[in-house]
Amino acid sequence: MRVDVLTIFPEIFSGFLNTSIIKRAREQGFLTVNLVDIRDYAGNKHRNVDDYPFGGGPGMVMQAEPIFLAVEALLPGENAVRPPIILLSPQGEVFNQDLAAELAGEERLVLICGHYEGVDERVRQFLANREISIGDYVLTGGELPAMVVIDAVTRLLPGVLGDPAGAREDSFAMGLLEYPQYTRPRSFRGMEVPEVLLSGNHERIRQWRRRQALERTWRRRPDLLARVDLSAEDRHLLEEIIRSARSEDRKTVL
């Protein structure tokens, strides 16, 4: 996958792109990130790309022209099929695992990082074809959101993770939160690893993990349960979980 990132702070990306799985994905050719400095398209010698808002108000607004020019240089030819041109914005659709999986199916993404008070509305209306928010909070710029999107999408590209089962079993990938994980030592300061994980019995381990995933999701994110397709075994496990939680509650009241 190729990702073009339009930003006024390309240097922010260097640690991210040169570390761990993202670095390896780039080295192995699964991911190419092309950082485009929007200031290279400024029409003035000071390389300014922002200006005061029409109508007044606080802060500065990123101008439309340098962003349009940068995208046009990347994607010459108006009629060509356009990849997703994504404006990172707190007003966009909220990013989640389904959206990451959808974007992982694309060959190319263009990400536009805003700054200051945001970008001229004409970028949103006439250039971007998608707008993504990484959550209901406001950051100083679109660079961290762009890294979040690149990270979540890259680990879903076939071949990037050594063991693809990892991504399949992650929280949200199956519609549930993931079961708890442990590693050595089996006893740490008197805290023990659940016996079942040491049993070597794969079927018992699978059932235990499924039950844990269901219970965690039921307790922490019941909204997710409403959307997931549960098997007959899941429904049975969930009934057991709810029954035993209710009986615990009764004991507490007594």
Q: Residue numbers of the site for ligand SAM (CB under 6 A)?
A: 88-91, 113-115, 117-119, 133-135, 137-142, 145
Q: Which is nearer to ligand SAM, 130 or 211 (CB)?
A: 130
Q: Alpha-carbon distance 235 to 214, whole Å? A: 9
155 is catalytic: yes
Q: Least distance to ligand SAM from the beta carbon of 10, Å?
A: 15
- Note if 47 is an active site residue: no
> How far apart are CB 43 and ligand SAM at their closest, in Å?
21
117 assigned to active site: yes
For residue 144, report the phi and psi dihedrals to the nearest 5 degrees: -60, -45
Nearer to ligand SAM (CB atom), residue 54 or residue 137: 137
Per annotation, catalytic residue among 90, 143, 145, 216: 90
Selected catalytic residue, list 65, 131, 169, 170:
170
Identify which of residues 124 and 216 has a Cβ nearer to ligand SAM in the complex: 124
Shortest distance (Å) from residue 253 CB to ligand SAM: 42
Q: Is 84 a catalytic residue?
A: no
Catalytic residue set: 90, 117, 155, 170
